[in-house]
Structure 1
């Protein structure tokens, strides 16, 4: 049952709940490719100044994983939309991030964080602050775990108890959104056991109440090995 949960929930449900790759419109290459980014499109180029090969997506066409021919290839960008474009060093909105304002057109080296040749995912948001959170990927009614703060990075979806995370998720959870109708109790060891010591006190479980999202604080961050859902926190 342990391995079945890891394979079934942490792989198949993740792909279904978090969405598939966006479909891009191919753009013609060339040194004058700045002119090829239509209004309402976010365009990336594999050379400086909008030159080289290019590809584009609409403002709502977010993608969490680039195919090999685009991964770590972007050198310049034109955000020809009315939204902020967030580009990320890692897949699943992970790693370093650049927030490109509406209308931005230039080399990635000119932005606040230089991600030249490093971009692996992107999304469009209404405000700049949205670039630093990925909680919106969590479907209603699910418990979502993430490997970076604020719902960023690799994520997985669950609706069930899990007595053992296994290697893929053991000691990796840094943020949580509990969108289920129950509270969730996280434990330091498999089998819903062990304790943490904080401020001279021992704590059996770290609790995230129903409907709450959080970046897990120290000393709990990156230490979860199992969890279960409960009707009342006294059950933890």
Structure 2
């Protein structure tokens, strides 16, 4: 009688263990969730753990504005590239950002800033520091004005004098890259007029020399309303 009881107990334990194992094997393996992201691709997913079909792009496909299907929806990410992946909650590399190291594969909530459901643009950079600048977008020979510091955010291009920015860019410029062959004089009012008063001194213009990129300091930014290009700074 005792032998039968022991035997029954052993069989029950084995069945319990086997049942647990069978349930475990029935669950999808973690690797099954992270699909569709080949080596060299940066992939965003709408589901946790890399679930669903990804938005997969290569190193040459930086995106400054996602289409509606992917704007502000991603919840997980796989940076399957040798570069740093820079993701932003604003278009044109603007707003809050995460810098994801090569090989990062996890929820967007695991970065330095939680961008779950907020990603609107991205780029790949050779170093982490490259995530904090967007000056590289400025074409050679152009004057580029940016809405955020360090060349980030919305931007516009000019090659000539502009006597009035109008509502589009008035009081918005926070950084500049002057890639023209001339110096640029920025003014507080339209038609290259008005002044700034700093420490009791009046300044007619803020100058960015040819070839220079800079974040404009206070009190000059963001107060520009016009600019002109000159061969010498005395022309300001």
**5+ residue gaps, structure 1:** 1-30
More helix by share: 2
- Counterpart of 2:68? 68
- What TM-score results when the alignment is normalised by the length of structure 2? 0.86
- Counterpart of 1:78? 78
1:36, CA displacement in angstroms? 2.0
- Bigger relative contact order (CA 8 A; separation at least 6): 1
Aligned mates of 1:33, 1:165 — CA distance in 2: 50
Is the aligned partner of 1:216 residue 2:216?
Answer: yes
Mapping of residues 54-203 of structure 1, within 5 Å: 54-203=54-203
- Counterpart of 2:24? none
1:32, CA displacement in angstroms? 2.9
- Counterpart of 1:9? none
- Counterpart of 1:228? 228
1:118, CA displacement in angstroms? 0.3
Aligned mates of 1:218, 1:55 — CA distance in 2: 40
Runs of 4+ residues deviating >3 angstroms = none
- Counterpart of 1:38? 38
- What TM-score results when the alignment is normalised by the length of structure 1? 0.86
1:48, CA displacement in angstroms? 1.0
Contact (CA 8 Å) 2:37, 2:54: kept in 1 or not? no
Contact (CA 8 Å) 2:36, 2:56: kept in 1 or not? no
Tell me the SS of whatever aligns to 1:168: helix
Aligned length, in residue pairs:
206
Contact (CA 8 Å) 2:35, 2:53: kept in 1 or not? no
1:52, CA displacement in angstroms? 2.7
Aligned mates of 1:81, 1:228 — CA distance in 2: 43
Root-mean-square deviation (CA, aligned residues, Å) is 0.9
1:55, CA displacement in angstroms? 1.1
Q: Deviations over 1:158-204 (max 9, x none)?
A: 10100000001000000000000000000000000000001110000
- Counterpart of 1:49? 49
Aligned mates of 1:32, 1:220 — CA distance in 2: 54
